[in-house]
A and B are shown apart, each in its own frame.
Chain A
Amino acid sequence: MLQVEHLQKSFSDFKAVDGADLRVGQGDLVAVIGPNGAGKTTLFNLITGHLQPDKGRILFKGEDISHLPAHQVCRKGIARSFQIANIFPRLTVFRNVQVSVLSQKNLSRTMFRPARRMVVEETRQILDRVGLNDQQLALAGSLSHGDKRILEIAIALGNEPELLILDEPTAGMSPDETAATMALVQRLAREQGLTILFCEHDMDVVFNVATSIMVMQQGRTILQATPEEVRQNITVQEAYLGGA
């Protein structure tokens, strides 16, 4: 479904991504791991069009999306969440998701029709699915950290994506919240046939959830394989797991 071929991106002299390769198949749950500064977030930003690559190609369903701007990449069916809770703090929880649903349905520029009557059902279904229904009238900025991260996923779901990219979905969460969030992610993948690409620091989470793992170091892809193979791979252990 998604294929990244030898992607490169430099910021002045620093090579943030220097030869990244990635394959994501339909229905996969792919994790990208690697030490801090390995280029995981940059890779995601390249895929979603928030950054433009210097070299290499990004194919989504066979189509080259390497140089599309972010809002067009989203239209192709790729939605994402961000590493820092990236929501609309002064809008209600409901509105946060509604804005994304409206955009998906090409209604963002509709004027002279009250928004509160539009796409209400769709928005509520998404809030239901992620369990934020009780808080739909709260201002998004007033949510707990964990709920903000969930809301982010909900905003991404508003785009009816085929591929959902999650940048450290459980960063800063308590163990309970982490478990609940990953259960949600797995449920979404199962029930909706979503393909999910995520990066994560918690190795337990990664090895429990992922169907495929890509290991990055210094901007380079070291390997991509099943969790078992990765666990056994010695290079990885040296690079990341501390030779354990």
Chain B
Amino acid sequence: MIKDILRTPSFLWTAAVLLALLLVPFFAGRFYVYILAVVFVTGLLAMSLNLLVGHGGAYQFHHCVFYGVGAYTAGLILAKTSLPAWLGLCAGPLAAALTGLVIGAFCVRLNKLYFGMLQISLGSLIWIVALRWYDLTNGDDGIHGIPMPELLSGSVNAYYFLLIIVSACLALMYLILKSPFGATLRAVRDNPQRCEAVGIDVRRHQLLAIVIGTFFAGVAGVLFVVLEGSVFPDMLFWVLSLEIFIMCLLGGWFTFFGPMLGAAIMVALRTFVGSYTDYWTLILGVVLILLIFFLPEGIMGVNFRSWQRRRERRRSADDVR
């Protein structure tokens, strides 16, 4: 299997990109290093959502709640307890996955839009806790100046930590999506009724996917804390959930890297266009309209298809992808 991976052209590309990213802090300014780190966090969040939406076909409408739960868990443990820092960092994703399990267990009993509506309601309950429970969460002020272990403090250190963790998470996601579990998940997306008829327990499969997806969202939340040293209730607000949904659509929601690309575009738009005008979302709106008309499968969706056709022609019929 390892040999397999080493031989694919996409592996060489990935290695080249990784190498370039490793070198960025040596020649780019601190600002750009920071922006890249923001792309990593947001991109990981978007990809964890896409695992459920693009590949799993779930109506995961309020995904950022799990991002927030991960961030708050880590932030609270680091800021308010004397427990070791690594414990806080590990607890974040686990808390997110547990929340995903509980909310998901209710949601998978419902179909499509009802799934989404219930998730928005249950997720908003958690948002309200973060917003109103002043004694614990400082309410709408959020928690700032969260202490970080020395190894992770400073923007370059944080950058490398994020790069390593995000790469590891993407590798894991890639393996999962290529496995029988991933193949079955896409089958559930395409046709849940047919899946039941071939003996797949659709609800359990979806719930397992939700636990995995929310785990990675929790990882993204923890990475946000490492990068920013703060958490605030907006991380759990539904507007962010919509934003990451847009990232998936923008980048290509039937592709693997698409959401990461979508996140990069959104972050770039907000940072660079946002510095000229407050109305940068106007440009986003125009981009989205054009996208829906001309590239309904997202930016990478198009590339992916023509590339795949070329590859299929090259491969003989006995090689099955």
Q: How far is the CA of A152 from the CA of B52 in the complex (A)?
A: 26
Chain A residue at minimum C-beta to C-beta distance from B1: A114
* Residues of chain B in range 184-227 having any CB-CB distance to chain A below 8 Å: 184, 186-187, 189-191, 193-202, 205, 208
B198 touches A88 (CB 8 A): no
A71, A79, A86 — most chain B CB neighbours (10 Å): A71
**What residues of A have a CB within 8 angstroms of the CB of B183 in the complex?**
91, 95, 98-99, 102, 115
Binds B, one of A16-24, A30-38, A104-112, A172-180: A104-112
**What residues of A have a CB within 8 angstroms of the CB of B201 in the complex?**
71
CB distance from A196 to the nearest CB of B (A): 16
Q: How far is the CA of A88 from the CA of B182 in the complex (A)?
A: 14
- Does residue B150 face the partner (Cβ distance < 8 Å to A)? no
Chain B residue at minimum C-beta to C-beta distance from A90: B190
Interface size class of B (residues with CB under 8 A): 20 to 34
- Does residue B179 face the partner (Cβ distance < 8 Å to A)? yes
Q: How far is the CA of A118 from the CA of B179 in the complex (A)?
A: 9
The size of the chain A interface, using a CB distance under 8 A, is 48
Q: How far is the CA of A156 from the CA of B199 in the complex (A)?
A: 10
* Residues of chain A in range 30-80 having any CB-CB distance to chain B below 8 Å: 48-50, 69-72, 74-75, 79-80
A108 touches B317 (CB 8 A): no
B196 touches A70 (CB 8 A): yes
B191 touches A48 (CB 8 A): no
A115 touches B187 (CB 8 A): no
- Does residue A198 face the partner (Cβ distance < 8 Å to B)? no
Q: How far is the CA of A110 from the CA of B184 in the complex (A)?
A: 10
- Does residue B59 face the partner (Cβ distance < 8 Å to A)? no
Show 21 residue pairs from A and B whose CB-CB distance is below 8 angstroms, ordered by the A residue: A50-B193, A70-B196, A71-B201, A87-B191, A89-B191, A90-B254, A99-B187, A99-B195, A99-B200, A107-B180, A108-B180, A108-B200, A109-B180, A111-B182, A112-B175, A115-B178, A115-B183, A116-B320, A117-B1, A158-B198, A159-B199
Known: A82-B194, A94-B320, A111-B182. 5 other contacts (CB 8 A): A86-B193, A91-B190, A100-B198, A108-B200, A111-B176
**What residues of A have a CB within 8 angstroms of the CB of B4 in the complex?**
114
- Does residue A136 face the partner (Cβ distance < 8 Å to B)? yes
